[in-house]
A and B are shown apart, each in its own frame.
Chain A
Amino acid sequence: MSLLTQRLRFIPFLPIYVAAYFLFLYLPILLLPIFSFNNAATTTFPLAGFTTKWYASLSGNSVMLEAAWNSLIVGLSVSLLSTILGICAARAITRYRFRGQRAAAGLIMAPLFLPEIIVAVSLLMIVLAMGVELSLVTVILGQTVFCVPYAMSVLVSGFEGFDRSLEEASYDLGEAAIGTFRRVTLPVVAPAIVSSLLVTFTISLDEFILAFFLSGTEPTLPVYIWGQLRFAAKLPGVLALGTIMLVASILMLTLAEILRRRAERRTQLAHALP
């Protein structure tokens, strides 16, 4: 490692490259909140003064509120469903040894690497072939398929190394099965579960392609935003909405990461030896 740090010092352009990289990555995202407070309907410099009217206009926009409500329902359902499925999968992967275990783990993770639009088109074909009407339910099912791998990877890192002797110690000290689950298992893995709920909720909130294909006449927020972009006058409102979603996502993901690390520390500590 020290050899590498030594060598890096001789590349003078490296700091410039790093700065350019981060500017390219985050400047567009930074522009979003800046223009959302700009007192003009166009997104051009110079800025025309500070305003919160775009935010105020959101609260009176019933179509947008409807879409936000849809997103909330979908987000909560998807996070619950995919976390429950993820718990089952993560427990099977970390606790038991069975034939086809690696294949099962790989297949569960696969949707992460499949082109989302292909998944969306296939799901749409199946839903239509089955004669099911497009609704929030179809969005929930589609996004759950997509979110289980995320849930599982968060949960596996929380469950991995959950020392079975913790549960045995609890039985040994006089506690029965239900008490052991409540007093030991749940508290030790709870941070990982909460973290999985937050991650999957955030993904569902931002997810566009599946929602676009499967939502029918009930748009979620990203689908609503996509529809609004056709009208230049609606742009500042979209920017304000986008800013709120951005901040909410960052907060939730940060919290999720903190919890995930705590879960990892807890379970690893249990058998970390001196």
Chain B
Amino acid sequence: MSDRAMIQIENVSKFYGIYKALDDVSLSIAEGEFFSLLGPSGCGKTTLLRSIAGFENPTAGEIYIDGVPSLALPPNKRPTNMVFQSYAIFPHLDVAENVAYGLKRLKLSPEEEKKRVGDALDMVRLSGLGQRKAHELSGGQRQRVALARALVMRPKVLLLDEPLSALDKKLREEMQVELRTLQKAVGITFILVTHDQYEALALSDRIAVMFGGRIAQIASPKEIYQRPRTRKVADFLGGMNFLKAKVLGEQGNAVSIDAARFGAVQLEKPQGFAASSGHVTVGIRPERLRLLWDDDRAPHELSGRIENRAYFGEVTHLTVGIDGLEQPLSMVETNNFGADDLPIGAEIRLAYDPEAFVLLAEDPPVTRI
């Protein structure tokens, strides 16, 4: 991964009538970066990906691919290749012919073409399956053919439109590891569209979370999970306990707040934070709350009672009611110590780390339509 920008998206908007599919989106993706566009369906992530590929024509803005303004170029003239959600394997061609499809136009020598097809199939571990017809392939194999067919073109950017959504859970997890390994091996820029936050977290160098045609936050997986900027981003990335809190004072980059039963905590000010009303929303992830057993002591404790319990195999999700809090808290406990055996109604104590709280900015109002 270098510092050179491979993709630069500048003020791109796409309107369908008065519906804003993309609303003034700007971002930059580095050469060799694994970048994910994450969001719920209809957030504009696929429209943005298809605009990079050339299948959508943005209403305004410009997209630079490797420094070249590209919106005027048709898809077949762009140095990008795409893995489609349906894989779009040509049904009348076998695996090798599918992979060689784009090479035919390059007029390579037969040996050179054969070598590149062979190398591409090796890369996705499909060696020896070149003669298979598309209908003889499993879902995972089709996905690999689609990958090989795109990578054999040696694109500057590989675009992946929900490539794993059609696979079952186990295969999906396998392919995630493979996709990451493959990206490191070929070293080209990958842009992945997904609505699966775990997929985005596991694969990406950076993630852009999108809502309503806009980018809500761009950051590394760790940062976006631990330091979400707004309530919606926090909520989309996983479980989060939200609390209303009162601002006590501001010192430079820090804000001290009164987080109800959790007491006074000092938090870092998020970008664009403005405590106009004196009331703010703070959040803490369920796994940052910890059950205390018997004689365990912690510097910051609360007591409550179990209102609900759900068993998930390796972990148990607990809902804990705390006096003086409007909403019960969600917690995730590993089952090593018997959290799965706690009866509903049991009185428990929990520990928390004030550092684990995040101050959340207000979500921008929804202005579409």
Contacts and interface: CB of A to CB of B under 8 A. Distances in A.
A269 B138 CA distance: 11
A273 B91 contact: no
B89 A171 contact: no
Given A171-B76, A274-B168, A269 B88 contact: no
Contact of A171 (B75, B85, B134, B166): B75
B140 interface: yes
A170 B102 CA distance: 8
Interface string A263-274: 001110111111
Q: Is the interface of A mostly helix, strand, loop or mixed?
A: helix
B76 A166 contact: no
Interface residues of B, number: 33
B135 A269 contact: yes
Contacts of A163: 86, 88
Residue with the highest number of chain B CB atoms closer than 10 Å, among A166, A176, A266: A166
A172 B134 contact: no
Given A174-B76, A273-B166, A274-B166, A266 B92 contact: yes
Contacts of A169: 82, 84, 88, 90, 149
A154 B91 CA distance: 19
Contacts of B167: 274
Contacts of A147: none
B75 A172 contact: yes
B53 interface: yes
Interface residues of A, number: 26
Nearest to B74: A171
A265 B135 contact: yes
A254 interface: no
Interface of A: 163, 165-166, 168-176, 179, 183-184, 187-188, 265-267, 269-274
22 contacts: A165-B85, A166-B91, A168-B82, A168-B84, A169-B149, A170-B90, A171-B54, A172-B80, A172-B81, A172-B150, A173-B81, A173-B153, A174-B76, A179-B105, A267-B91, A269-B89, A269-B134, A269-B135, A273-B86, A274-B138, A274-B139, A274-B140
Interface of B: 53-55, 74-76, 80-82, 84-86, 88-92, 101-102, 105-106, 134-135, 138-140, 142, 149-150, 153, 166-168
Given A174-B102, A272-B135, 7 more contacts: A168-B82, A172-B53, A172-B150, A173-B81, A174-B76, A184-B90, A269-B89
